[in-house]
Amino acid sequence: MSEKFEPNIVAFLCNWCSYAGADLAGTSRIQYPANLKIIRVMCTGRVNPLFIVNAFQQGADGVLVSGCHPGDCHYMEGNYYARRRFSLIRELLEYIGIDPRRIHMSWVSASEGAKWKDVVEKVVAEAREAGPFDQFRRNKINW
Amino acid sequence: MVDLENLRTIAKETISREDVKYFIGWREGTYGFSVSPHFVREPAEADKLIFSPLCSNNLATYLTLAEKLPVPRGQEPDTRKVALMVKGCDSRAVVQLLVERGIEREQVVVIGCPCQGVIDTKKVEQLLGQPENVVRARWEKGKIICQLPDGEKEFIKEEVLAQKCLKCRYPNPVIYDILFGEKVEPWCQEEDFQEVKEIEGLTLQERWDYWQEKFSSCIRCYSCRNVCPLCYCEDCILDRLNPTWINRSVNISENTAFQLSRAFHLAGRCIECGECERVCPVNIPLMKLNKKLSKAVKEMFDFEPGLDPEAKPLQASYRPDDKEDFIL
Condensed to tens digits (0 to 9), the pLDDT of residues A75-120 reads: 999 999 999 999 999 999 999 999 999 999 999 999 999 999 999 9
Question: In a 3-state reduction of DSSP, which class is residue B129?
Answer: coil
Q: DSSP alpha helices (H): ranges in chain A?
A: 18-27, 49-57, 78-95, 113-130
The whole-angstrom distance between B67's CA and the closest CA on chain A is 29
Inter-chain residue contact B204 with A97, CB threshold 8 Å: yes
Inter-chain residue contact B267 with A93, CB threshold 8 Å: no
Condensed to tens digits (0 to 9), the pLDDT of residues B194-219 reads: 989 999 999 999 999 999 999 999 99
pTM of the model: 0.92
Name the fold adopted by A9-130. Answer: Rossmann fold (3.40.50)
The whole-angstrom distance between B320's CA and the closest CA on chain A is 7
Measured CA to CA, the distance from residue B312 to residue B285 in angstroms comes to 29
ipTM: 0.92
Choose the closest CB to B326 out of A54, A81, A87: A87
Q: How confident is the model at residue A141 (pLDDT cuts 50, 70, 90)?
A: low
A108, A18 in Cβ contact below 8 A? yes
Chain A environment of B318 (Cβ under 8 Å): 77, 80-81, 83-84
The whole-angstrom distance between A102's CA and the closest CA on chain B is 12
Pick from A72, A87, A99 the residue to mutate for testing the B interface (most B CBs within 10 Å): A87
> Residues of chain B whose pLDDT is less than 50?
none
Q: Where do the structural domains in chain A lie, given as residue ranges?
A: 9-130
A105–B contact, CB cutoff 8 A: yes
Is the pLDDT confidence value at A1 over 60?
A: no
Residues 277-306 of B with CB under 8 A from A: 289, 292-293, 296-297, 300-301
Q: Where do the structural domains in chain B lie, given as residue ranges?
A: 4-66+80-179, 194-316
Least confident interval from A45-49, A138-142, B45-49: A138-142
Inter-chain residue contact A95 with B199, CB threshold 8 Å: yes
Helical axes B204-216 vs B252-265, angle rounded to 10° = 100
Pick from A50, A73, A105, A126 the residue to mutate for testing the B interface (most B CBs within 10 Å): A50
The whole-angstrom distance between B187's CA and the closest CA on chain A is 29
Query: Edge-to-edge strand order for the sheet containing A103-107?
Result: A36-41, A9-14, A62-67, A103-107
The whole-angstrom distance between B126's CA and the closest CA on chain A is 29
List the beta bridge partners of residue B136: B147
Strands B81-86 and B108-112: parallel
